[in-house]
Amino acid sequence: MLEFIKMHGLGNDFIIFDGINQDLPDHNELAKKVCDRHFGIGADGMMVVKQSSSSDIKMLFYNADGSQAPMCGNGIRCFAKYVFDEKLVRGKEFEVETLAGIMRPRIISSEEKISFIEVNLGRAYFSSEMIHANTNKEKILNESIEIDGNTFKISAVVVGSVHAVIFVDDLNKIDINVIGRKIENHQLFPNKINVNFCQIIDDTNLQVLTWERGVGQTLACGTGAASAAVVGSILYNTSKKVNVHLLGGTVEIEQRDNEIFMTGPAEVICKGVYYDK
């Protein structure tokens, strides 16, 4: 029996296991089982809490298909609430070790069910080498890509995880289940990529639809929202502080001192025991 908590950030839902005080089976297989919405608990991803030798705490993140990802924006807010509530860290500001580097959450307000949390996501990186893109170009910024006879302008960036950002005039005309999947698996990205379609509402408001690598369409993606905000400010001179409207709600993204700060909610859904076979 494995104790777990299920949480969500703007509808992007996760299962969190304490990997310090209980022994867990193979993480990849466990993620596939528990994230299954029919035979498991059901979630977009799974996180495991571990001790860290370099930070206050360590987060391991797994997609619903069992693959490991460096980080997750909505996920780390939920992770931060959990370790704060369970007193696994001290204070309202702490460091979290992830495969994407050190993240620095700050608890703004905290109640039993819901908390609001700001996370320093660090810097954005455009290097094609970091993105593992199949190209000789140093970066992919507003480059043309053809999908089913239609041309899209694509930018690729690393903000915690690797993201493709495509600005469009009308999100309603995007069949994300078709186009999102094809860009995720495009030969340009041999390791696959998260895909974000963005529509500019005005200088301080963006609307984003996200197709997550290894998951599919999700209600929200924090690092995807951050990626869209960064690319928008470069290509279209949108504000350095924007509200990004996602299917599950709104997250605030602010760029200051060459770093990216994300502020949004983390909410508890339930706690329970998972019976692993």
The response to whether 28 counts as a known ligand-binding position is: no
Which of 251, 72, 64 has the alpha carbon at shortest distance from 161? 72
The response to whether 74 counts as a known ligand-binding position is: yes
The response to whether 243 counts as a known ligand-binding position is: no
The response to whether 194 counts as a known ligand-binding position is: yes
Q: Give the C-alpha separation, 243 to 210, whole Å.
A: 16
The response to whether 222 counts as a known ligand-binding position is: yes
The response to whether 213 counts as a known ligand-binding position is: yes
Residue in 35, 72, 78, 198 annotated catalytic = 72
Rounded alpha-carbon distances, angstroms, from residue 257 to 124, 205, 238, 254, 274: 12, 21, 17, 10, 43
Residue in 35, 78, 221, 270 annotated catalytic = 221
For this structure, is 221 an active site residue?
yes
Rounded alpha-carbon distances, angstroms, from residue 32 to 17, 53, 145, 158, 178: 14, 28, 32, 25, 23
The response to whether 12 counts as a known ligand-binding position is: yes
The response to whether 212 counts as a known ligand-binding position is: yes
Q: Give the C-alpha separation, 19 to 105, whole Å.
A: 20
For this structure, is 270 an active site residue?
no
Q: Give the C-alpha separation, 253 to 125, whole Å.
A: 16
Q: Give the C-alpha separation, 221 to 195, whole Å.
A: 10
The response to whether 73 counts as a known ligand-binding position is: yes
Show binding-site residues: 12, 63, 73-74, 194, 212-213, 222-223
Active site residue ranges:
72, 221
Show binding-site residues for substrate: 12, 63, 73-74, 194, 212-213, 222-223
